[in-house]
Amino acid sequence: MSVSDTGKQIASAIVTKAIFSNPTVLLVGLIISIIFLIIMLIAVAASALNPNQQNEEGTSYSIIYGPLDRDKIDSILKESGVFDGKTDVFIETAKRHNIDPVLLIAIALHETGYGTSNAVIKKNNPGGIMMPPSYSELRAYPSLDAGIEDMAKNLYDNYIAIGLVTIPQIGTKYAPIGADNDPTGSNANWVPSITNIATQLGGLTINYFGDGKWIVPVPKPFTLSSDYGWRDFGGGEFHNGIDIPKPAGTPIVAASSGKVVVAVKSGEGGGFGLHVVIEHSGGVYSLYGHMSSVKVNVGDTVQTGQQIGAVGNTGRSTGNHLHFQINLNSIYQNHTDPKPYIGL
């Protein structure tokens, strides 16, 4: 045994004896341990209560929305192998299939290692699309444009159209964690990676409309189930807003920036169920009704495109939808047709 090891043993024995033979030292150590435990519990609680750092599953990432940033997309695709010069192809293809071009590009970049994988170079396959019926081999396309077209069609038909609209929702099917064909567990990185790439591209844009001051608060496409104005409902009534049907849990974002003045998180909410009202400049108030969950609090300042809740069926409602309403100089009164505000 070395002199150093002997010294360590002697020092350890002295410290141990001092602690257990001196009640004061033992008490101080116990107090320090309790304080440390309390600090850790506070940190965990703070993290759990921060909606800007966690999604529904509790994973640490956030999703932003905004106008289509062609400059950012061009600059990234320029450095992404075979995708250089394909900005217009991605955007126009996404538009034809009613999907977010940023979402389409982000998935393509992730699946191909930023346009450098053998699948996209040799088979023009940007989305990891497999060949039926066995789905054991990657599909080959005659051109990259054809591969992008089929990838977009697949994304809409097998995900968006059945209510899988957010990145986490899409990830549960596109790259399921624990799948047999993922022995290394790389699918666990799919959602954070797509989210990060989408952010680099300028944020998701499917909600975006117009000049950025007002946007549609739920993802397109949709058809109104009830318009603003008189309708046959319970003997006839004037409908103060518009109803947009969407699957339960679909994200609802602020149609414009402002301050949250109402955030009802339980109860009937006067018929609106769980709902939020945001005060905007010029005496304009936007109301979002029948939510399944509310993710903001009264007094919060929210930005255009920031998620404030999720579609639900609470209050006086006959199915999952968003009731969207615009009121002038009043939180609940003086309603007006909201469609011109969001470009419908």
CATH number 3.40.50.10540 is the correct assignment for the domain at 70-200: no
- Cα–Cα dist 275/266, whole Å: 9
Percent of the chain with pLDDT over 70: 78
Angle made by CA atoms 309, 312, 318, in degrees to the nearest 5? 150
Residues 104-159 have pLDDT tens digits of: 999 999 999 999 999 999 999 999 998 888 778 899 999 999 999 999 999 988 88
The answer to whether residues 299 and 206 touch, using CB atoms and an 8 Å cutoff, is no
pLDDT in the model for residue 107: 96
Identical fold, 70-200 and 229-342: no
pLDDT in the model for residue 15: 46
Phi, then psi, of 74 in degrees rounded to 5: -60, -45
Q: Which portions of the chain are predicted below pLDDT 70?
A: 1-30, 33, 36-66, 161, 163, 206-213, 232-236
pLDDT in the model for residue 4: 47
Could you tell me which CATH class the domain 229-342 is placed in? mainly beta
Give every CB contact of residue 55 below 8 A, 6+ residues apart in sequence: 61, 62, 63, 168
Listed by start position, the domains of the chain span: 3-49, 70-200, 229-342
| DSSP letters for 274-324 | EEEEEE-GGGEEEEEEEEEEE---TT-EE-TT-EEEEEB--SS-SSSEEEE
Q: What does pTM read for this prediction?
A: 0.52
Residues 165-194 have pLDDT tens digits of: 778 878 888 988 888 878 888 889 999 999
Residue 151, classed as helix, strand or coil, is helix
